Structures are given as C-alpha cells and as structure tokens.
Amino acid sequence: MNLAKPDVWVEIDLSALRHNASAVKQSLPSGVALMAVVKGNGFGHSYVEPAKAFVAAGAAMLGVTRLEEALELRNGGVTAPILLLAPIQADNAAIAIENDLICAVDSLPLATALSEASAGTGVKAKIHIKVDTGMGRLGVLPDETPGLVREIASLKNVDIAGIFTHFATATEKNLAPAEKQLQKFGDVVRALKSAGLPVGIVHAANSAATLRMPAAHLDMVRVGTLLYGQYPAAYLPKTIDLRPTWRLKARLCSVREVPTGTRIGYGGEYVTQRKTRIGVCPIGFADGFTMIPEGPFYRLSPLGFFARKRKRSLTVTIHNRYAPVLGRVSMQLTVVDLTDIPKAQPGDEVIVPALRLATNPHIPRVYLETF
C-alpha cells in the first residue's frame, strides 16, 4: 500500500548517484575500470536502484560483501558482474555459480567446492584471489599466494579472473603503511606473472586510495563512499565534484504549546524556560537518529568522545530553519522546539540528520531524479 503521506522516508537522488559515478570514472586514467561498491544496503541507499544508476554511469562491476546482497541485486534485475568481497560458505557454491557471481577466494577448500559445483554446468566458477598485505582480516599471505594460485589453477572448473588486496590505512594522513602494502601486492603480482600463473584483473584501491594513490589504480578501483557524495576523510582535498545523494525525512505528527516549567521526555531532563511550542516527529534512535554526532568523533580517545557527546546540540530542519531537539530522543519519537518557527504544522516535512549506515533499512527509500 502506498501511503499518501509517509511518516518517515529517505529521499535518494538518482541523478546525483550517476553524476558521482561519472565524475569518479572521469578522474581515472584511461583503461582503469570502476567497481561500484554497493555493500551494506548500498551505504544506506538500498541495493538495486543505486546499482543500476552506477552501471548506467559506466561502472564495469559491482561489489558486495555477502551472498544475500548479491542475490537481492540479481532478483532486482541487475545483470552486471558482481564480486563477493568476502568468501562464501562452501555449501552455497552452487547458488553463487547459478547466479553468475564472482567469488573472493583465499583458500583451496573453497576453490575446490566452487570447482565441484561447476562440474557439468558448462561454465567455470569465476574467482578473485584475496591477498592479505597488511589488513589482517581476509586473504592469503603474500608468500603463500603463488602456491595457492598454482593449486587453484590446476582445478578444472575454476577461472582465476582477478586478484586483489585491501588497504588498512589509506584514509590516514601517513600513507607510508598503505604504500608498503601496495609494494607487497605488486611483488606478489609480479611473482605470479613471472611464474606464468594467471592473475586476471588486478585491483587494490578503495575510495581513499583512488584519491590519494594513483599508483594503486592498477586495472580497477573499488569505490563506495565517493559514489554516495562523501569524502572518506574530512581533510582530503576535494578534487572530484560530488553531489549529495541522500536525506532522511519525517513529518511532524503533533504540534502544541506547553507552559514554562514543563518537563520533556524520558527522565524529565529538559525543562522549558518559557511557554514553548513543541513539535513531535515520529522518528528516533531505532531509525538511526542521534547516531550521526558520534560519527566524526570515532577517532577520539574515550574521554574526548564523551566530552564532545555531552556538549553536542541536536537539531532538525523545518522550513529551512533549525529546530532544537528537546530532551532525550526516544525509540521512535523526538520532541523539537518550534517556538521560533510559527508556521510549522502537523504534516510538515522535517529533515533529520543521521548516519546513513545506521539508518533503519526498513524505512522506505524514495528515488527521485533530482532533489
């Protein structure tokens, strides 16, 4: 059922998504492909429509973490190549092959399972070898990579279509560790080629490395954050023209006046100092509101983090004016001060700041050609 006026929704600008993908692609040297990363519910944008927008703008491949994410794309009609960035369960090998998915592999047992699942299908399982050059999370170690690739290359039904690594510190001001990772990865690739072993598409750069490490562009870059209109770190130079793509909205569900001395919300922590016109928005921490203030401060020490959190001031935007939040944000209701916004009425739109990835994925996404 389509509601005449939804209480809470996310607006997504498809034209901005296409613009950002095109801008990133144009910033790359000729011959370098773009993988659009749409993991994590498309960084809060959902999966299918953003993926289609990126492909239309020139993305050669899509990247997700889990098999379920890739299947949502396939079920939504997305036919572009999709790389699963994390190894799947071996029991799901046949499903990955049936859906023409490319699997990240860092072990012989998974490669063997994919080869066996491909037997009799007339197609080979496409895989990309994941190399751990310093992230310490997934991947085969550099000195073990040639042996693993040699064993996988001997399997009948496997196509080594690529090899990749992931940077741990490309957003940090000191690029030396990331450059060391790139050197290790380059050594691995050269060793494989010298031994006559397949490597396929070679890729390493995430959004930060795409901006800061031209030598890491290789055959393809894997970009997520930039496509959604954000830079991976505030201090990075704004060298690409990015457009905002996302905004969380709600509607005022109640507006009324309360007298001086009224306690607002759980705990009664806020007390009105004047006759106050309050509005209530049907949105709260279950939806992801109040998550954003912590986002910019996650690198602080615990003491600094809580000091900044204590002093923060939450606001929403109504009629292009800031409305302060009064009292605690509860699970699905938030009280705001409308005293200085006299035109605000029930049903009016409220723009709510929120961290995209923390925003409830069940909130409807509304796709527009432009905001």
Domain boundary at 172, 201, 228, which?
Answer: 228
Q: How would DSSP label each residue in 39-93?
A: HHHHHTT-SHHHHHHHHHTT--EEEESSHHHHHHHHHTT--S-EEESSPPPGGGH
Residue 109: inside a domain: yes
Residue 239: inside a domain: no
Give me the catalytic one of 39, 126, 184, 249.
39
CATH number reported for the structural domain that contains residue 315 in this entry: 2.40.37.10
Claim to verify: residue 214 and residue 254 sit in the same structural domain: no
Claim to verify: residue 278 and residue 312 sit in the same structural domain: yes
Residue 12: inside a domain: no
pLDDT number for residue 295: 41
Claim to verify: residue 212 and residue 292 sit in the same structural domain: no
Residues in the chain, pLDDT under 50: 292-299, 305
pLDDT number for residue 303: 58
Claim to verify: residue 223 and residue 251 sit in the same structural domain: no
Residue 304: inside a domain: yes
Give me the catalytic one of 25, 156, 193, 266.
266
Residue 106: inside a domain: yes
Task: Look at residue 154 and give its three-state secondary structure.
Answer: coil
Claim to verify: residue 49 and residue 124 sit in the same structural domain: yes
Tokens of 209: 């490395």
pLDDT number for residue 20: 98
Q: What is the pLDDT of residues 300-341, one digit of tens each?
A: 555 554 555 555 589 999 999 999 999 999 999 999 999 999
Claim to verify: residue 221 and residue 256 sit in the same structural domain: no
Residue ranges making up the domain that contains 270: 246-368
Residue 4: inside a domain: no
Domain boundary at 202, 228, 254, which?
Answer: 228
Domain boundary at 173, 202, 228, which?
Answer: 228
Claim to verify: residue 344 and residue 311 sit in the same structural domain: yes
Task: Look at residue 171 and give its three-state secondary structure.
Answer: coil
CATH number reported for the structural domain that contains residue 81 in this entry: 3.20.20.10
Provide the residue type at 80 as one letter: A
Residue 324: inside a domain: yes
pLDDT number for residue 237: 83
Claim to verify: residue 152 and residue 250 sit in the same structural domain: no
- Which contacts qualify for 132-137: CB closer than 8 Å, 24 or more apart? 132/106, 132/165, 133/165, 133/181, 133/182, 133/184, 133/185, 133/188, 134/167, 134/168, 134/177, 134/180, 134/181, 134/184, 135/165, 135/166, 135/167, 135/168, 135/181, 136/168, 137/166
Claim to verify: residue 174 and residue 276 sit in the same structural domain: no
Q: Is 39 a catalytic residue?
A: yes
Strand extents, DSSP E, 8-124: 8-13, 33-37, 61-64, 82-84, 102-105
If one counts the domains in the chain, the total is 2
Q: What CA–CA distance (Å, rounded) separates 325 from 248?
A: 16
Claim to verify: residue 152 and residue 295 sit in the same structural domain: no
Claim to verify: residue 253 and residue 223 sit in the same structural domain: no
Residue 13: inside a domain: no
Claim to verify: residue 183 and residue 307 sit in the same structural domain: no
